[in-house]
Structure 1
Amino acid sequence: MSATGGRHDEDGHHDAAGHRPGGPWFAFLESNTTGTGREFCAAARTRGMRPVLLTRDPGRYPYAAEDGIDIRVLDSGDPDAVLACCTRLAAGQAGLAGIASSSEYFVAAAARTAAALGLPAADGDAVARCRDKERQRALLADAGVPVPAFTAATTVPEAVRAADGIGHPVVLKPVSGSGSVGVRLCRDRAETLAWAGELLGRGTDERGNPVAARILVEAAVTGPEFSVETFDDRVVAVVAKHTGAPPYFVETGHDVPAPLPRADADALGATALTALAALGLGWGAAHTELRLTATGPVVIEVNPRLAGGMIPVAVRAALGTDLVDTVIAKSAGRPAPVPAAGAGHAAVRFLPAGREGHVTGITGLPDAEAAPGVVAVAAGTAKGRTVRITHSFQDRLACVVATGADAAEAAQRAADAARLIRIELEEPAAPEEGVGGR
């Protein structure tokens, strides 16, 4: 099946328009729905490969239809189905150059499938271990990497006892997840009781995949937040993170590079590399989140994938390093791109949802694109969609990336441009009396 209805031979020799382009396939096992998900496909094409998206639900990816990306519909959570599909692609005339995923939930499966076919890949088992936040925390703690005090819980009483033992405030989160989904600060027993019940009552994640009835209770660590973007065993950038008001941790922006003293940036980078080594990682991209406390860096979590949140776009704009293309090159066994000149500083700012409603229009995107220093503008929603407040990355309706002479100028430009974007919402219809009530 093709995103635009184009046909395929069994070997996939036709692209979405029914033509016969040259070059091997590059398979993406699911994807980010916005931002770098689209850029991954574009980077593969630029390198002469043909991106093909392996997905359970093509409707999640409007860009695939817009860009004429080939699609194979399958159960992306079934390793055998994924391997069978990639085996067919590899056996075809064009061949298969590589397999990757920009989605947190599929990086381990993509790595294991690539390895099974003899293609370049990270250690899929190490990636899978890292995806389980409890196992990750235990491995880091055993290796002496500073992490918050933590306990896993499978019932609400266990979560409350864990919080009492650690001491409030605590942070509750799913043992697997992404984009701040389900992450909340609980300041007392009542909040812990309520949020543990909410998390443990969820049977699926935001993609509809089953989730384990297990959560992590950890000490709330104070100090500014950062991420360290690495590739293999090299620190590419230390990024300052901005988040919304407690008790949630929704990211509202990023600054690249973080405006920090060199000693602090070096300490954050060194801690991230130590964490990767302890987890058996260090192949390809990783995104490590930390807080800088009074006693030094503390690892909040390691993500064995390229950063989301348009951070790679900001890194490219500020530092000239194209992390998206570097991931594609590594996964296809090709030379990494040579870094270009960067502007020195870049910032990402998001437009958050202020309320729920149906999107009736989006205006101001061209104005934002034309604003000083702006290098990228993206809408995270579309006309006809419904906006819900989820206290996660899904609440970000648009984003802007801008450059500047310093961190302050880049941040101001990005914020000013983001304010030019208008997401018009229509109030959800109230249920009629006697219909849809309790």
Structure 2
Amino acid sequence: MAPVLVLVESNTTGTGRDFALAARSLGLRPVLLTKGERHYPYVAELDLDVVRADTADPAAVVAACAALPGVRGVTSSSEYFIETAARAARELGLPGPDPDAIAVCRDKMAARKRLRHLGPDFAGCVTPDEAAAAAARLGAVVVKPARGSGSIGVRACASSDEAREWTQRLLADGATEVVVEQEIVGPEFSVEVLAGEVVCVTAKHLGPAPFFVEYGHDVPAAAPDAIAEAAKTALAACGLGDGTAHVELRWAHGRPWLIEINPRLAGGLIPRLVRHALGRDLVTEVVAAAAGMPVDRRPGTHTHASIRFLVPGAGTVTEVSGVDEARVMPGVLEAVCTAAVGQDLETTGSFTDRRGYVVALGPTAATAAARADAAHARIRIAVAPAAVPASR
């Protein structure tokens, strides 16, 4: 029987499926360890083996993994479970990153304290009044949960009152601490790091304020060398110098500013862009490393890839058109729309607002971006605002 790779829960935007397929391509048997697979449509599509466990309990995860014969590795495509997977791997004597370093990176306050010299001024706050006082001191700020992912709960606040109100909402939604940090205005990049190696820099396109929804990415990006160097410095300071990470920074005032460290592969289908543009299959490399298998890190191609996401507003979808036309436009590799006529859409100011995407290639960054923009413009998702109930 094939050796087992345990996948603790899953990313919900595509990478989880890629992890399972990569495991199979390496001769491994992927097994999803989950409280419930209903959130992962690809499980049925791939006929994936599933083991039920309380994945919120690290001891239960270790026990479930230990009960499986032939486990070669334990990992996760979800940032929320990558620390749990790393601790299970260490407990079982399997390969994996340092779980303590992952814990530091995932705790935005702990990371900020270690990296004061790389990032904006900040404060950790546990009450709305503390957040308002911090905003009064710092000026325009960004308020975010101390632990989170995917831009969920992240908002720019231009005043103390806004910071107070947003913090009150985050605490009501379950956050126990928020980070209030000086807003840095400038182009945003992410550095994709694998086993301590900078693979590439990604240029990021953000949606309208006050939120930070990523509307697109370009790979590879032309960026100052100091961007990649700052990412490596930050990872080393957090104890993840030889690990895998998606490090977000902004360029302002002639220097890089660290926004946050995500101790995992990038989301937003960036690994797929890297594969198209540079010939590096980051997902397969991570899966191979988790199973202690040799990893081929040689680049195979060099072109440019861009992705643009479909982000309609809230309301009821009345029309979806142009997807087939977008698929056959020059340079387009993929055009996907998940919205359907009659569907009621909500917006949260996070990655969950995205309802599809287009991916395009080009010989230059400008060409790839223009092709993705053109295909994106061809797709129409018409939305009728939700009706407001009549008052009585």
TM tier relative to shorter chain: over 0.9
Aligned to 2:248: 289
**Preserved contact between residue 313 and residue 401 of structure 1 (Cα < 8 Å):** no
Aligned to 2:349: 391
Q: For 1:225-265, what per-residue CA distance to the aligned partner results, in whole angstroms no more than 9, with x for missing partners?
A: 000001122110011111011111110111111134xxx1x
Q: For 1:64-105, what per-residue CA distance to the aligned partner results, in whole angstroms no more than 9, with x for missing partners?
A: 11121122222211112211111111xx2xx11211111111
The yes-or-no answer on 1:416 pairing with 2:378 is: no
Aligned to 1:102: 77
Aligned to 1:162: 134
Aligned to 2:157: 186
Following TM superposition, by how much is the alpha carbon of 1:384 offset from its aligned partner in structure 2, in angstroms? 7.5
Match of 2:269 among 299, 306, 310: 310
Match of 1:67 among 46, 55, 76: 46
**Preserved contact between residue 285 and residue 297 of structure 2 (Cα < 8 Å):** no
Letter of the 2:136 counterpart: D
Aligned to 2:21: 42
Letter of the 1:416 counterpart: A
The yes-or-no answer on 1:147 pairing with 2:119 is: yes
Q: In 2, distance between residues paired with 1:433 and 1:274? A: 58
Q: Secondary structure of 2:358's match?
A: strand
* 1:109 to 1:385, Cα distance in 2 relative to 1, 3 A: farther
Q: In 2, distance between residues paired with 1:115 and 1:386? A: 44
Q: In 1, distance between residues paired with 2:113 and 2:142? A: 17
Query: Mean alpha-carbon deviation: is it higher for 425-434 or for 381-390?
Result: 425-434
Q: Secondary structure of 1:134's match?
A: helix
TM-score scaled by structure 1? 0.84
The yes-or-no answer on 1:129 pairing with 2:104 is: yes
Q: Where does structure 1 lack aligned partners over 5 or more consecutive residues? A: 1-21, 204-211
Aligned to 1:405: 363
Aligned to 1:13: none
Q: For 1:141-163, what per-residue CA distance to the aligned partner results, in whole angstroms no more than 9, with x for missing partners?
A: 2xx4x111010110011111111
Letter of the 1:158 counterpart: E
Q: For 1:243-296, what per-residue CA distance to the aligned partner results, in whole angstroms no more than 9, with x for missing partners?
A: 011111110111111134xxx1x2111110000000000344200000111231
* 1:136 to 1:33, Cα distance in 2 relative to 1, 3 A: same
Following TM superposition, by how much is the alpha carbon of 1:139 offset from its aligned partner in structure 2, in angstroms? 1.1
Letter of the 1:369 counterpart: R
* 1:293 to 1:429, Cα distance in 2 relative to 1, 3 A: closer
Aligned residues: 392
The yes-or-no answer on 1:251 pairing with 2:214 is: yes
Structure 1 vs Structure 2 CA RMSD: 2.0
The yes-or-no answer on 1:78 pairing with 2:50 is: no
Following TM superposition, by how much is the alpha carbon of 1:425 offset from its aligned partner in structure 2, in angstroms? 5.4
* 1:81 to 1:386, Cα distance in 2 relative to 1, 3 A: farther
Following TM superposition, by how much is the alpha carbon of 1:341 offset from its aligned partner in structure 2, in angstroms? 2.8
Q: Where does structure 2 lack aligned partners over 5 or more consecutive residues? A: none
**Preserved contact between residue 323 and residue 379 of structure 2 (Cα < 8 Å):** yes
**Preserved contact between residue 343 and residue 404 of structure 1 (Cα < 8 Å):** no
Q: Secondary structure of 1:200's match?
A: helix
* 1:96 to 1:383, Cα distance in 2 relative to 1, 3 A: farther
* 1:118 to 1:383, Cα distance in 2 relative to 1, 3 A: farther
Q: Equivalences for 1:235-384 in 2 at 5 Å?
A: 235-260=198-223, 264=224, 266-357=225-316, 364-379=322-337
TM-score scaled by structure 2? 0.94
**Preserved contact between residue 217 and residue 307 of structure 2 (Cα < 8 Å):** yes
Letter of the 2:374 counterpart: D
Q: In 2, distance between residues paired with 1:281 and 1:31? A: 22
Following TM superposition, by how much is the alpha carbon of 1:224 offset from its aligned partner in structure 2, in angstroms? 0.8
Following TM superposition, by how much is the alpha carbon of 1:360 offset from its aligned partner in structure 2, in angstroms? 7.6
Following TM superposition, by how much is the alpha carbon of 1:362 offset from its aligned partner in structure 2, in angstroms? 5.7
Q: In 2, distance between residues paired with 1:343 and 1:418? A: 24
Q: Secondary structure of 1:157's match?
A: helix
